[in-house]
Amino acid sequence: MPTVPISMRKLKEILRLKYGAKLSHRQIARSLSISPSAVSRYANRAAQLGIKQWPLPTEGDSSSLRKAFSQTKVKMKKHSLPDWAEVHKKLRNKIVTLQLLWEEYAEQYPGSFYSYNHYCRFYREWSKTTNLSIRQVHKAGEKLFVDYCGPTINIINPNTGETRTVQLFVAVLGASNYTWAEATWSQHLEDWVMSHVRCFQSLGGVPEIVVPDNLKSATLRACKYDPDINPTYQQMLEHYNVAVIPARPRKPKDKPKAEVGVQLVERWIMARLRHEHFYSLASLNKHIQVLLKRLNTKKMQKMSYSRAELFVQLDAPVLKPLPKAHYSFTLLKKVRVHKDYHVQIDNHYYSVPYTLLGVQLEARVSGELVRLFNKKQEVALHPRCRTCGYSTRTEHMPEAYRQHATWTPERFLEWAASLGNDVHDYILQILNSRLHPE
């Protein structure tokens, strides 16, 4: 470079801050409003001239120093590029950017580093050599991708010999690729929701976002941009303070981690269990956890670390804590009040205030209770009954029905007895003379 594009005063300030104040190139650049690469160029020239201290040697004036700098060219050394796998790993931290990593790289190799544009281009080229799922940079603790495997596993009833298929639920953390799986009897709502709960407990925390597919247990209405989330599923996620962003229909690239995780579970777990016979769900899940641990602790292809190591370094420290209150499965469903002021839930009928005829209510069904709400206000509470029949509360009836309900044979006999034994016997004879007391 034939000329020095900065003033002699600024050049001396660079040398003072570097050798006197011991500041980094980035700190010097910010102080003098120049680029870190400019600081590195002049530091490179100073090193060639043997200048490595402050204050400067007394011999020589400013003009001779300026001439020496102008006649010195930056010597670019061929340096090995960064470990791109390590760069990709660091990018998963929420506060780390490619710009920051390049600045640190430039500071580490002063005068022999690639420009920011070249750095980014090399990183993009490296990412193309890996599988598709790694091209997306997932921030630590941000997303958990969930799905079911396509193939199933059979469980044999030890008493009857009958076989029953079970489903495999798979969850994968975006940053570390840490994988969790378990077998459930079905993909129905309760199994789907409780698999999430057990997954959160196993991870020891919760992510910010869950990315499911558009199965019916997750979404009531699949939509490309605004799907309707199943209210029971939504309530569980609210309990854990987790957002849900379902993948778009027929868009597998929205959940590449789940696609790859499912494939790994099928190949590394289901394939190894294909010759085994299982007689209980608990026994199958015990075998799955053993193979799952092996999958998470083995080194990943093209990486020098395992999913378990990445989980400890990246995801585990930033996962949100589990809520103190334990989650209990509660089914939420819409029910409409019939003309007899009852609502139907699982072939049993529960009464509500008769003034709500025809109104659509929200039922919250837990293990022991049925609670009914109208616009978030509780209007009825019943013990849950799993047999066919009616559960009717007197206070829910109209006044006329309520009075009629008190006209029972026992009431008449009690009244007759208060008037004497003869009256009691006479009333009893009248009641017994008819087929039905009514």
What pLDDT score does 205 carry?
Answer: 92
Residues whose CB is less than 8 angstroms from the CB of residue 271 and which lie 6 or more positions away in sequence, other chains included: none
Q: Give the mean model confidence (pLDDT) for residues 62-85.
A: 66
Average pLDDT score, the chain: 81
More confident: 76 or 93: 93
Q: Is the pLDDT of residue 418 over 80?
A: yes
Instruction: Report the range out of 47-51, 74-78, 79-83 with the highest average pLDDT.
Output: 47-51
Strands 163-173 vs 153-156: parallel, antiparallel or unpaired: antiparallel
Question: Residue 27 and residue 35: Cα distance in Å, rounded?
Answer: 10
pLDDT tens digits, residue range 313-332? 888 898 999 998 888 888 88
Q: Please report, for the chain, the start and end positions of each structural domain, with discontinuous segments joined by +.
A: 8-70, 84-129, 143-318, 331-397, 407-432
Q: How far is CA 132 from CA 127, 129, 256, in A?
A: 8, 9, 8
Amino acid at 101: L
Instruction: Report the range out of 24-33, 163-172, 385-394 with the highest average pLDDT.
Output: 163-172
Q: Give the mean model confidence (pLDDT) for residues 157-181.
A: 90
More confident: 240 or 89: 240
What pLDDT score does 2 carry?
Answer: 42
Q: How far is CA 145 from CA 262, 270, 298, 303, 371, in A?
A: 10, 19, 21, 21, 32
What pLDDT score does 125 carry?
Answer: 81
What pLDDT score does 80 carry?
Answer: 59
Which of 101-110, 374-383, 396-405 comes out lowest in average pLDDT? 396-405
What pLDDT score does 436 carry?
Answer: 65
Question: Residue 284 and residue 286: Cα distance in Å, rounded?
Answer: 5
Q: What is the CATH number of domain 143-318?
A: 3.30.420.10
Label residue 53 by pLDDT band (50, 70, 90).
confident
Q: Which CATH class is domain 8-70?
A: mainly alpha
For 51-59, which contacts have Cβ atoms below 8 Å and span 24 or more sequence positions?
A: 51/15, 51/19, 52/19, 53/19, 54/15, 54/16, 54/18, 54/19, 54/20, 55/16, 55/20, 56/12, 56/15
What pLDDT score does 402 carry?
Answer: 64
Q: Is the pLDDT of residue 204 over 60?
A: yes
Label residue 430 by pLDDT band (50, 70, 90).
confident
Label residue 200 by pLDDT band (50, 70, 90).
very high
pLDDT tens digits, residue range 100-158? 888 888 777 766 667 788 788 888 887 777 654 444 567 888 889 998 988 888 999 88
